[in-house]
Amino acid sequence: MADDHFCEDLLRLYPDSNPQYQQQLRELNDRLSVDNDNRSNLTVKVYSCYYCKLLFDHPSKLKRHQRNSCTFPCRQCDRHFDSAENLFKHSNIDHTTYQTGSGNTDSNSHTTIKHKSVDKSALLGIARARFIYPNEDNGEKYDLLAFLSGIKHEVKTHLQEMCDELGHIKWYMNCLVQMIKPNGGEGGNDLKNNAHFISKTSNLVDRANIDDEHDINVTYQKIFKSFDEYIRNGSGWSLDHIKHIEINTAKYKPLGGGSYIPLPRTLAATRALLNIRNLDEKCFVYAIIASIHPTCSGDPSKVHHYIPYEHELNMEGIQLPVAPSFVSKFERQNNISVMVLGFEEGEFFPLHVTGLREAHHEVDLLYLKSGNKSHWCLITDLNRLLYRTKCLGRSHKYCRFCLSGFTSEHTLEKHIKYCSKFEAQHVTYPTKGVDDILTFQDHAKQLQTSFVIYADMETFCEPMVTEEPEDNRTSTTKLTKLIPCGYGYQVVCIDDRYTQPPKNI
Protein backbone atom coordinates (compact mmCIF):
# COMPACT_ATOMS: atom_id res chain seq x y z
CA MET A 1 0.00 0.00 0.00
CA ALA A 2 1.12 3.55 -0.67
CA ASP A 3 2.28 5.42 2.40
CA ASP A 4 -0.03 8.41 1.79
CA HIS A 5 -3.16 6.12 1.86
CA PHE A 6 -2.01 3.86 4.70
CA CYS A 7 -4.21 5.42 7.39
CA GLU A 8 -7.30 5.50 5.18
CA ASP A 9 -6.88 1.80 4.44
CA LEU A 10 -6.63 1.02 8.17
CA LEU A 11 -9.89 2.86 8.85
CA ARG A 12 -11.65 0.88 6.13
CA LEU A 13 -10.25 -2.47 7.30
CA TYR A 14 -11.07 -1.92 11.00
CA PRO A 15 -14.29 0.18 11.18
CA ASP A 16 -15.31 -1.22 14.60
CA SER A 17 -12.05 -0.51 16.36
CA ASN A 18 -11.68 1.66 19.43
CA PRO A 19 -12.98 5.22 18.76
CA GLN A 20 -9.88 6.64 20.42
CA TYR A 21 -7.64 4.77 17.96
CA GLN A 22 -9.84 5.90 15.07
CA GLN A 23 -9.45 9.54 16.11
CA GLN A 24 -5.66 9.16 16.36
CA LEU A 25 -5.58 7.56 12.93
CA ARG A 26 -7.60 10.43 11.44
CA GLU A 27 -5.22 13.04 12.95
CA LEU A 28 -2.22 11.09 11.66
CA ASN A 29 -3.78 10.90 8.20
CA ASP A 30 -4.42 14.68 8.15
CA ARG A 31 -0.86 15.35 9.27
CA LEU A 32 0.56 13.12 6.48
CA SER A 33 -1.61 14.87 3.88
CA VAL A 34 -0.24 18.27 4.91
CA ASP A 35 3.35 16.98 4.79
CA ASN A 36 2.79 15.54 1.32
CA ASP A 37 1.37 18.84 0.07
CA ASN A 38 4.34 20.77 1.48
CA ARG A 39 6.76 18.25 0.00
CA SER A 40 5.23 18.67 -3.47
CA ASN A 41 5.58 22.48 -3.24
CA LEU A 42 9.29 22.40 -2.41
CA THR A 43 11.58 23.95 -5.06
CA VAL A 44 14.85 22.05 -5.36
CA LYS A 45 17.78 23.99 -6.75
CA VAL A 46 19.48 21.95 -9.49
CA TYR A 47 22.81 22.77 -11.11
CA SER A 48 23.43 21.21 -14.50
CA CYS A 49 26.85 20.55 -16.07
CA TYR A 50 27.05 22.23 -19.47
CA TYR A 51 29.11 19.42 -20.99
CA CYS A 52 27.79 16.07 -19.70
CA LYS A 53 24.34 17.27 -18.44
CA LEU A 54 24.75 15.70 -14.96
CA LEU A 55 22.70 17.38 -12.22
CA PHE A 56 23.96 18.55 -8.81
CA ASP A 57 22.22 20.04 -5.78
CA HIS A 58 25.03 22.45 -4.87
CA PRO A 59 27.32 24.68 -6.99
CA SER A 60 30.42 23.47 -5.14
CA LYS A 61 29.69 19.90 -6.25
CA LEU A 62 29.25 21.07 -9.84
CA LYS A 63 32.53 22.97 -9.73
CA ARG A 64 34.41 19.99 -8.27
CA HIS A 65 32.90 17.74 -10.95
CA GLN A 66 33.95 20.08 -13.79
CA ARG A 67 37.48 20.34 -12.43
CA ASN A 68 38.15 16.69 -11.69
CA SER A 69 35.81 14.22 -13.36
CA CYS A 70 33.85 15.95 -16.11
CA THR A 71 34.31 14.53 -19.59
CA PHE A 72 33.34 16.02 -22.94
CA PRO A 73 31.28 13.63 -25.12
CA CYS A 74 31.46 13.68 -28.90
CA ARG A 75 28.06 13.83 -30.60
CA GLN A 76 29.32 11.77 -33.54
CA CYS A 77 30.76 8.80 -31.63
CA ASP A 78 30.96 7.38 -28.11
CA ARG A 79 34.37 8.86 -27.24
CA HIS A 80 34.85 11.22 -24.29
CA PHE A 81 37.63 13.79 -23.78
CA ASP A 82 39.11 15.55 -20.78
CA SER A 83 38.84 19.08 -22.24
CA ALA A 84 36.78 21.01 -24.77
CA GLU A 85 39.96 21.78 -26.71
CA ASN A 86 40.73 18.08 -27.21
CA LEU A 87 37.12 17.44 -28.22
CA PHE A 88 37.40 20.14 -30.87
CA LYS A 89 40.65 18.67 -32.24
CA HIS A 90 39.00 15.24 -32.43
CA SER A 91 35.94 16.63 -34.23
CA ASN A 92 38.03 18.28 -36.92
CA ILE A 93 40.35 15.30 -37.45
CA ASP A 94 38.01 12.31 -37.16
CA HIS A 95 34.72 13.88 -38.24
CA THR A 96 35.22 16.01 -41.31
CA THR A 97 31.51 16.69 -41.72
CA TYR A 98 30.01 19.79 -40.15
CA GLN A 99 28.40 19.20 -36.78
CA THR A 100 25.18 20.81 -35.68
CA GLY A 101 23.15 20.68 -32.51
CA SER A 102 21.05 17.75 -33.80
CA GLY A 103 23.77 15.56 -35.32
CA ASN A 104 25.61 15.13 -38.61
CA THR A 105 24.82 17.04 -41.76
CA ASP A 106 26.31 16.93 -45.18
CA SER A 107 29.74 18.53 -45.55
CA ASN A 108 28.35 20.89 -48.17
CA SER A 109 25.62 22.13 -45.87
CA HIS A 110 27.40 25.47 -45.49
CA THR A 111 26.25 26.32 -49.01
CA THR A 112 22.60 26.29 -47.89
CA ILE A 113 22.80 27.48 -44.26
CA LYS A 114 23.27 31.25 -44.16
CA HIS A 115 23.87 33.19 -40.97
CA LYS A 116 22.80 36.74 -40.28
CA SER A 117 25.80 39.11 -40.39
CA VAL A 118 26.47 42.83 -39.94
CA ASP A 119 29.56 44.69 -41.23
CA LYS A 120 31.18 47.71 -39.56
CA SER A 121 34.29 49.72 -40.47
CA ALA A 122 36.56 52.46 -39.09
CA LEU A 123 39.60 54.52 -40.10
CA LEU A 124 38.31 55.02 -43.66
CA GLY A 125 37.81 51.29 -44.14
CA ILE A 126 41.29 50.20 -43.00
CA ALA A 127 39.80 48.39 -39.96
CA ARG A 128 36.79 46.12 -40.57
CA ALA A 129 34.57 43.96 -38.35
CA ARG A 130 31.94 41.41 -39.35
CA PHE A 131 29.43 40.23 -36.73
CA ILE A 132 27.95 36.76 -37.37
CA TYR A 133 24.90 35.65 -35.38
CA PRO A 134 23.88 32.02 -34.67
CA ASN A 135 20.75 30.44 -36.10
CA GLU A 136 18.14 29.67 -33.46
CA ASP A 137 16.25 26.98 -35.35
CA ASN A 138 19.06 24.37 -35.37
CA GLY A 139 20.39 24.77 -31.82
CA GLU A 140 23.55 26.72 -32.76
CA LYS A 141 22.67 29.44 -30.28
CA TYR A 142 23.29 27.02 -27.41
CA ASP A 143 26.17 24.95 -28.83
CA LEU A 144 29.54 26.65 -29.33
CA LEU A 145 31.11 23.76 -31.25
CA ALA A 146 28.17 23.54 -33.67
CA PHE A 147 28.16 27.31 -34.24
CA LEU A 148 31.90 27.56 -34.98
CA SER A 149 31.78 24.53 -37.27
CA GLY A 150 28.77 25.94 -39.11
CA ILE A 151 30.39 29.31 -39.89
CA LYS A 152 33.83 28.00 -40.90
CA HIS A 153 33.17 28.41 -44.63
CA GLU A 154 31.78 31.93 -44.11
CA VAL A 155 34.85 32.90 -42.08
CA LYS A 156 37.19 31.65 -44.81
CA THR A 157 35.22 33.43 -47.55
CA HIS A 158 35.17 36.70 -45.60
CA LEU A 159 38.94 36.61 -44.98
CA GLN A 160 39.59 35.96 -48.68
CA GLU A 161 37.37 38.90 -49.62
CA MET A 162 39.19 41.18 -47.18
CA CYS A 163 42.54 40.00 -48.54
CA ASP A 164 41.40 40.81 -52.10
CA GLU A 165 40.21 44.26 -51.05
CA LEU A 166 42.89 45.34 -48.54
CA GLY A 167 45.88 43.24 -49.66
CA HIS A 168 47.79 41.95 -46.63
CA ILE A 169 45.68 41.80 -43.45
CA LYS A 170 45.90 41.01 -39.74
CA TRP A 171 42.85 39.31 -38.23
CA TYR A 172 41.45 37.82 -35.05
CA MET A 173 38.09 36.56 -33.77
CA ASN A 174 36.10 37.54 -30.68
CA CYS A 175 33.24 35.32 -29.47
CA LEU A 176 30.67 36.97 -27.18
CA VAL A 177 28.52 34.61 -25.08
CA GLN A 178 26.18 35.05 -22.14
CA MET A 179 27.05 32.92 -19.11
CA ILE A 180 24.58 31.98 -16.39
CA LYS A 181 24.96 30.96 -12.75
CA PRO A 182 21.76 29.32 -11.45
CA ASN A 183 20.31 30.92 -8.29
CA GLY A 184 23.37 33.15 -7.94
CA GLY A 185 21.57 36.49 -7.95
CA GLU A 186 19.32 38.44 -5.59
CA GLY A 187 16.37 36.53 -4.24
CA GLY A 188 17.60 33.25 -5.69
CA ASN A 189 17.36 34.51 -9.27
CA ASP A 190 19.83 33.40 -11.93
CA LEU A 191 22.94 35.56 -12.29
CA LYS A 192 23.99 36.35 -15.86
CA ASN A 193 27.20 37.82 -17.26
CA ASN A 194 28.70 38.45 -20.70
CA ALA A 195 32.07 36.86 -21.49
CA HIS A 196 34.46 37.48 -24.40
CA PHE A 197 36.71 34.72 -25.76
CA ILE A 198 39.37 36.14 -28.08
CA SER A 199 41.73 34.30 -30.44
CA LYS A 200 45.32 35.15 -31.27
CA THR A 201 46.09 37.64 -34.04
CA SER A 202 47.18 36.10 -37.36
CA ASN A 203 48.65 37.48 -40.58
CA LEU A 204 47.21 36.76 -44.02
CA VAL A 205 49.34 37.93 -46.92
CA ASP A 206 47.52 36.14 -49.75
CA ARG A 207 44.02 34.68 -50.15
CA ALA A 208 45.53 31.34 -51.18
CA ASN A 209 47.35 31.13 -47.82
CA ILE A 210 44.21 30.68 -45.72
CA ASP A 211 43.72 27.04 -44.76
CA ASP A 212 40.42 26.30 -43.03
CA GLU A 213 41.77 22.99 -41.72
CA HIS A 214 44.72 24.65 -40.00
CA ASP A 215 44.61 28.44 -39.64
CA ILE A 216 40.94 28.69 -38.71
CA ASN A 217 41.12 25.60 -36.49
CA VAL A 218 44.06 27.11 -34.58
CA THR A 219 41.91 30.19 -33.99
CA TYR A 220 38.99 28.06 -32.83
CA GLN A 221 41.21 26.09 -30.45
CA LYS A 222 42.27 29.28 -28.66
CA ILE A 223 38.60 30.29 -28.22
CA PHE A 224 37.70 26.80 -26.95
CA LYS A 225 40.64 26.77 -24.55
CA SER A 226 39.58 30.10 -23.01
CA PHE A 227 35.96 28.93 -22.82
CA ASP A 228 37.02 25.67 -21.16
CA GLU A 229 39.08 27.51 -18.52
CA TYR A 230 36.20 29.89 -17.80
CA ILE A 231 33.77 27.00 -17.23
CA ARG A 232 36.16 24.99 -15.05
CA ASN A 233 37.32 27.92 -12.90
CA GLY A 234 34.15 30.01 -12.89
CA SER A 235 32.41 28.74 -9.72
CA GLY A 236 29.29 27.31 -11.34
CA TRP A 237 29.05 29.39 -14.53
CA SER A 238 27.64 27.65 -17.61
CA LEU A 239 26.70 28.70 -21.15
CA ASP A 240 23.28 30.37 -21.46
CA HIS A 241 23.48 31.29 -25.17
CA ILE A 242 25.83 32.62 -27.83
CA LYS A 243 25.30 36.25 -28.84
CA HIS A 244 27.65 36.58 -31.82
CA ILE A 245 31.17 36.18 -33.10
CA GLU A 246 33.09 39.04 -34.70
CA ILE A 247 35.88 38.78 -37.26
CA ASN A 248 38.19 41.80 -36.95
CA THR A 249 40.52 42.62 -39.84
CA ALA A 250 42.97 45.46 -40.48
CA LYS A 251 45.29 46.35 -43.33
CA TYR A 252 48.86 45.09 -42.84
CA LYS A 253 51.99 46.33 -44.61
CA PRO A 254 54.94 43.97 -44.05
CA LEU A 255 58.42 45.26 -44.74
CA GLY A 256 60.28 43.51 -47.57
CA GLY A 257 63.82 43.41 -48.88
CA GLY A 258 64.28 45.48 -52.05
CA SER A 259 67.15 46.93 -54.02
CA TYR A 260 70.89 46.94 -53.25
CA ILE A 261 72.28 48.37 -49.99
CA PRO A 262 76.08 48.59 -49.45
CA LEU A 263 77.36 46.49 -46.56
CA PRO A 264 78.56 48.22 -43.38
CA ARG A 265 82.35 48.22 -43.16
CA THR A 266 82.47 45.75 -40.26
CA LEU A 267 80.39 43.22 -42.21
CA ALA A 268 82.22 43.70 -45.51
CA ALA A 269 85.54 43.00 -43.76
CA THR A 270 84.42 39.52 -42.74
CA ARG A 271 84.25 38.33 -46.40
CA ALA A 272 81.52 35.94 -45.30
CA LEU A 273 78.64 37.69 -47.12
CA LEU A 274 77.56 37.87 -50.75
CA ASN A 275 75.80 41.17 -51.44
CA ILE A 276 74.25 40.98 -54.93
CA ARG A 277 73.97 44.33 -56.74
CA ASN A 278 70.39 44.17 -57.97
CA LEU A 279 68.35 47.13 -59.21
CA ASP A 280 64.99 45.37 -58.98
CA GLU A 281 63.22 43.83 -55.97
CA LYS A 282 64.47 40.25 -56.40
CA CYS A 283 67.40 40.24 -53.99
CA PHE A 284 65.81 37.38 -51.99
CA VAL A 285 65.46 35.26 -55.14
CA TYR A 286 69.05 35.96 -56.25
CA ALA A 287 70.44 35.15 -52.79
CA ILE A 288 68.70 31.76 -52.75
CA ILE A 289 69.90 30.95 -56.29
CA ALA A 290 73.46 32.01 -55.40
CA SER A 291 73.45 29.43 -52.60
CA ILE A 292 72.15 26.66 -54.89
CA HIS A 293 74.22 27.60 -57.97
CA PRO A 294 77.41 29.35 -56.80
CA THR A 295 79.34 30.97 -59.63
CA CYS A 296 82.96 29.98 -60.25
CA SER A 297 83.90 32.79 -62.62
CA GLY A 298 83.50 36.54 -62.64
CA ASP A 299 82.09 38.77 -59.96
CA PRO A 300 79.49 36.78 -57.94
CA SER A 301 77.71 40.01 -56.91
CA LYS A 302 76.46 40.60 -60.46
CA VAL A 303 72.86 39.66 -61.22
CA HIS A 304 73.38 38.04 -64.67
CA HIS A 305 74.83 34.89 -63.03
CA TYR A 306 71.46 34.04 -61.44
CA ILE A 307 68.74 35.19 -63.84
CA PRO A 308 68.79 31.90 -65.87
CA TYR A 309 67.82 29.91 -62.75
CA GLU A 310 64.82 31.98 -61.63
CA HIS A 311 62.35 29.42 -63.01
CA GLU A 312 63.61 26.79 -60.53
CA LEU A 313 61.98 28.56 -57.56
CA ASN A 314 58.26 28.44 -56.85
CA MET A 315 57.32 32.01 -55.92
CA GLU A 316 53.56 31.59 -56.32
CA GLY A 317 51.65 33.75 -53.86
CA ILE A 318 54.84 35.47 -52.60
CA GLN A 319 54.91 39.18 -53.28
CA LEU A 320 58.09 41.03 -54.21
CA PRO A 321 59.98 42.45 -52.42
CA VAL A 322 59.90 39.43 -50.13
CA ALA A 323 59.15 40.18 -46.48
CA PRO A 324 60.42 37.95 -43.62
CA SER A 325 56.84 36.84 -42.99
CA PHE A 326 56.82 35.09 -46.40
CA VAL A 327 59.88 32.93 -45.66
CA SER A 328 57.86 30.07 -44.14
CA LYS A 329 55.64 29.90 -47.23
CA PHE A 330 58.72 29.87 -49.48
CA GLU A 331 60.20 26.97 -47.47
CA ARG A 332 57.06 24.86 -47.83
CA GLN A 333 56.77 25.49 -51.57
CA ASN A 334 60.43 24.76 -52.36
CA ASN A 335 61.58 22.36 -49.60
CA ILE A 336 64.48 24.69 -48.82
CA SER A 337 65.49 25.41 -45.24
CA VAL A 338 66.08 29.15 -44.69
CA MET A 339 67.56 30.77 -41.58
CA VAL A 340 67.30 34.56 -41.38
CA LEU A 341 69.52 36.78 -39.21
CA GLY A 342 69.10 40.45 -38.41
CA PHE A 343 71.85 42.95 -37.60
CA GLU A 344 71.40 46.05 -35.47
CA GLU A 345 73.81 48.07 -33.32
CA GLY A 346 76.65 45.66 -34.01
CA GLU A 347 74.71 42.57 -32.86
CA PHE A 348 73.29 39.60 -34.80
CA PHE A 349 69.99 38.05 -33.80
CA PRO A 350 67.70 35.38 -35.32
CA LEU A 351 64.73 36.72 -37.28
CA HIS A 352 63.40 33.43 -38.60
CA VAL A 353 64.13 29.91 -37.39
CA THR A 354 63.36 27.27 -39.99
CA GLY A 355 60.74 24.65 -39.31
CA LEU A 356 62.21 22.24 -41.89
CA ARG A 357 64.73 19.85 -40.41
CA GLU A 358 65.21 17.53 -43.42
CA ALA A 359 65.16 19.92 -46.41
CA HIS A 360 67.27 19.08 -49.45
CA HIS A 361 69.09 22.44 -49.18
CA GLU A 362 69.98 24.87 -46.36
CA VAL A 363 70.41 28.62 -46.84
CA ASP A 364 71.53 31.28 -44.35
CA LEU A 365 70.43 34.85 -45.14
CA LEU A 366 71.07 38.25 -43.59
CA TYR A 367 68.24 40.80 -43.60
CA LEU A 368 69.67 44.33 -43.60
CA LYS A 369 67.77 47.57 -43.00
CA SER A 370 68.91 51.11 -43.70
CA GLY A 371 66.29 53.77 -43.08
CA ASN A 372 63.22 52.86 -45.12
CA LYS A 373 65.18 50.44 -47.32
CA SER A 374 65.89 46.76 -46.71
CA HIS A 375 67.95 44.12 -48.52
CA TRP A 376 68.72 40.36 -48.49
CA CYS A 377 72.32 39.08 -48.45
CA LEU A 378 73.61 35.52 -48.64
CA ILE A 379 75.75 34.29 -45.73
CA THR A 380 78.44 32.18 -47.35
CA ASP A 381 80.20 31.21 -44.10
CA LEU A 382 78.24 31.58 -40.86
CA ASN A 383 81.13 30.56 -38.60
CA ARG A 384 83.48 33.08 -40.19
CA LEU A 385 80.89 35.87 -40.04
CA LEU A 386 80.14 35.44 -36.35
CA TYR A 387 83.77 34.76 -35.38
CA ARG A 388 85.04 37.95 -37.04
CA THR A 389 82.34 40.13 -35.49
CA LYS A 390 82.40 38.65 -31.97
CA CYS A 391 86.23 38.73 -31.63
CA LEU A 392 86.44 35.75 -29.26
CA GLY A 393 90.14 35.13 -29.85
CA ARG A 394 89.81 31.61 -31.27
CA SER A 395 87.64 29.94 -33.89
CA HIS A 396 84.23 28.64 -32.90
CA LYS A 397 81.44 26.54 -34.38
CA TYR A 398 78.15 28.42 -34.18
CA CYS A 399 74.60 27.21 -33.73
CA ARG A 400 72.24 28.34 -36.52
CA PHE A 401 69.35 28.58 -34.07
CA CYS A 402 70.67 30.69 -31.16
CA LEU A 403 74.10 31.86 -32.51
CA SER A 404 75.95 30.43 -29.51
CA GLY A 405 79.60 29.47 -30.17
CA PHE A 406 81.30 26.16 -29.34
CA THR A 407 84.94 25.12 -29.65
CA SER A 408 84.24 21.58 -30.90
CA GLU A 409 81.94 20.04 -33.48
CA HIS A 410 80.88 17.35 -31.02
CA THR A 411 79.66 19.88 -28.45
CA LEU A 412 77.80 21.81 -31.15
CA GLU A 413 75.95 18.69 -32.32
CA LYS A 414 74.84 17.88 -28.77
CA HIS A 415 73.62 21.48 -28.34
CA ILE A 416 71.68 21.59 -31.66
CA LYS A 417 69.80 18.42 -30.70
CA TYR A 418 67.94 20.41 -28.03
CA CYS A 419 68.20 23.99 -29.31
CA SER A 420 66.48 23.19 -32.61
CA LYS A 421 63.23 22.44 -30.78
CA PHE A 422 62.68 26.08 -29.83
CA GLU A 423 61.82 29.32 -31.60
CA ALA A 424 64.25 32.16 -32.37
CA GLN A 425 66.46 33.11 -29.43
CA HIS A 426 68.81 35.98 -28.69
CA VAL A 427 71.47 35.30 -26.05
CA THR A 428 72.89 38.35 -24.27
CA TYR A 429 75.96 38.49 -22.01
CA PRO A 430 77.22 41.10 -19.51
CA THR A 431 79.48 43.86 -20.81
CA LYS A 432 83.09 43.43 -19.82
CA GLY A 433 84.14 45.95 -17.19
CA VAL A 434 80.58 47.26 -16.73
CA ASP A 435 78.20 44.62 -15.37
CA ASP A 436 80.25 41.44 -15.58
CA ILE A 437 80.71 41.10 -11.78
CA LEU A 438 77.75 40.47 -9.49
CA THR A 439 77.93 42.07 -6.05
CA PHE A 440 75.52 42.07 -3.13
CA GLN A 441 73.76 45.43 -2.76
CA ASP A 442 70.89 45.04 -0.26
CA HIS A 443 72.95 45.38 2.90
CA ALA A 444 69.96 46.73 4.83
CA LYS A 445 68.33 43.32 4.59
CA GLN A 446 71.22 41.85 6.59
CA LEU A 447 70.44 43.99 9.66
CA GLN A 448 68.32 42.47 12.40
CA THR A 449 64.94 44.15 12.90
CA SER A 450 64.32 45.51 16.41
CA PHE A 451 60.56 44.97 16.47
CA VAL A 452 58.27 42.62 14.55
CA ILE A 453 54.47 42.67 14.72
CA TYR A 454 52.60 39.48 13.78
CA ALA A 455 48.92 40.05 13.06
CA ASP A 456 45.99 38.01 11.77
CA MET A 457 42.33 38.84 11.03
CA GLU A 458 39.25 36.61 10.81
CA THR A 459 36.17 37.44 8.71
CA PHE A 460 32.72 36.13 7.88
CA CYS A 461 32.03 35.53 4.16
CA GLU A 462 28.70 37.03 3.09
CA PRO A 463 27.46 36.44 -0.50
CA MET A 464 26.92 39.62 -2.51
CA VAL A 465 24.34 40.42 -5.17
CA THR A 466 25.93 42.24 -8.07
CA GLU A 467 24.54 43.83 -11.20
CA GLU A 468 25.38 42.63 -14.68
CA PRO A 469 28.40 44.62 -16.01
CA GLU A 470 28.14 46.75 -19.10
CA ASP A 471 29.12 45.15 -22.41
CA ASN A 472 31.46 47.93 -23.53
CA ARG A 473 33.47 48.27 -20.31
CA THR A 474 35.85 46.05 -18.41
CA SER A 475 34.76 45.28 -14.89
CA THR A 476 35.32 43.12 -11.83
CA THR A 477 32.41 41.09 -10.45
CA LYS A 478 32.35 41.02 -6.64
CA LEU A 479 30.85 37.81 -5.28
CA THR A 480 31.66 37.82 -1.54
CA LYS A 481 31.79 40.50 1.15
CA LEU A 482 34.30 39.90 3.96
CA ILE A 483 32.97 41.11 7.33
CA PRO A 484 35.66 41.37 10.07
CA CYS A 485 34.76 39.42 13.21
CA GLY A 486 38.02 39.42 15.12
CA TYR A 487 41.76 39.91 14.99
CA GLY A 488 44.88 39.24 16.98
CA TYR A 489 48.45 40.46 17.11
CA GLN A 490 51.72 40.06 18.99
CA VAL A 491 54.71 42.40 19.30
CA VAL A 492 58.10 40.64 19.35
CA CYS A 493 61.36 42.44 20.19
CA ILE A 494 64.99 41.35 20.09
CA ASP A 495 64.98 42.36 23.78
CA ASP A 496 62.65 39.98 25.62
CA ARG A 497 61.72 42.71 28.09
CA TYR A 498 59.66 44.44 25.41
CA THR A 499 58.07 41.38 23.88
CA GLN A 500 54.31 41.40 24.55
CA PRO A 501 51.96 38.41 24.84
CA PRO A 502 49.42 37.81 22.07
CA LYS A 503 46.28 39.96 22.15
CA ASN A 504 42.95 38.75 20.77
CA ILE A 505 39.93 40.93 20.06
Reduced to 3 states, what is the DSSP secondary structure of residue 433? coil
- Mean per-residue pLDDT for 429-450? 81
First to last CA, the chain: 61
CB 382 within 8 A of CB 362: no
Q: What DSSP string describes 63-124?
A: HHHHHHT--EE-SSSS-EESSHHHHHHHHHHH--SPEETTEE--TTGGGT----EEEEEETT
- Mean per-residue pLDDT for 202-228? 75
- Interatomic CA distance for residues 210 and 215, integer angstroms: 6
- Interatomic CA distance for residues 22 and 408, integer angstroms: 106
pLDDT at 267: 84
Give how far Cα 408 sits from Cα of 255, 338, 413, 415, 480, Å.
38, 24, 9, 11, 62
pLDDT at 262: 84
pLDDT at 105: 36
Helices (H), ranges, 243-295: 265-268, 283-292
pLDDT at 245: 93
Bond prior to 321 in cis (omega within 30° of 0): yes
Cβ neighbours, 10 Å, residue 447: 7
CB 330 within 8 A of CB 316: no
Is the model more confident about 18 or about 269? Answer: 269
Q: Given a cut of 50, is residue 97 above it in pLDDT?
A: no
pLDDT at 476: 76
pLDDT at 350: 79
Give how far Cα 387 sits from Cα of 32, 83, 290, 393, 403, Å.
96, 49, 23, 8, 10
Give how far Cα 237 sits from Cα of 66, 81, 179, 233, Å.
11, 20, 6, 9
Looking at the chain, which residues constitute the CATH 3.90.70 domain(s)? 265-393
Helices (H) and strands (E) in the chain, counts: 12, 22
Cβ neighbours, 10 Å, residue 480: 11
For residue 281, name the pLDDT band (cuts at 50, 70, 90).
confident
Average pLDDT, the chain: 76
- Interatomic CA distance for residues 385 and 380, integer angstroms: 9
Of the candidates 245, 242, 203, 237, the residue with the CA atom closest to the CA atom of residue 220: 245
**CATH of segment(s) 265-393:** 3.90.70
Q: If you count them, how many residues does the chain have?
A: 505
For residue 416, name the pLDDT band (cuts at 50, 70, 90).
confident
For 108-112, 150-154, 233-237, 496-500, which range has the lowest pLDDT when averaged over its residues? 108-112
Q: Give the tens place of pLDDT for each residue, 289-338.
A: 988 888 877 888 888 888 888 888 888 878 777 888 788 888 888 888 88
pLDDT at 201: 85
For residue 177, name the pLDDT band (cuts at 50, 70, 90).
very high
Cβ neighbours, 10 Å, residue 386: 22
CB 176 within 8 A of CB 194: yes
- Interatomic CA distance for residues 321 and 66, integer angstroms: 52
For 131-145, 291-305, 424-438, which range has the lowest pLDDT when averaged over its residues? 424-438
pLDDT at 126: 84
- Mean per-residue pLDDT for 80-99? 60
Q: Tell me the percentage of the chain whose pLDDT exceeds 70.
A: 69
Q: Give the tens place of pLDDT for each residue, 34-56.
A: 555 554 444 445 566 666 667 77
pLDDT at 101: 34
Q: Give the tens place of pLDDT for each residue, 335-353.
A: 888 888 888 777 787 788 7
Its sign, for the CA torsion 275, 280, 281, 286, is negative
DSSP state of 21: H
Reduced to 3 states, what is the DSSP secondary structure of residue 328? helix
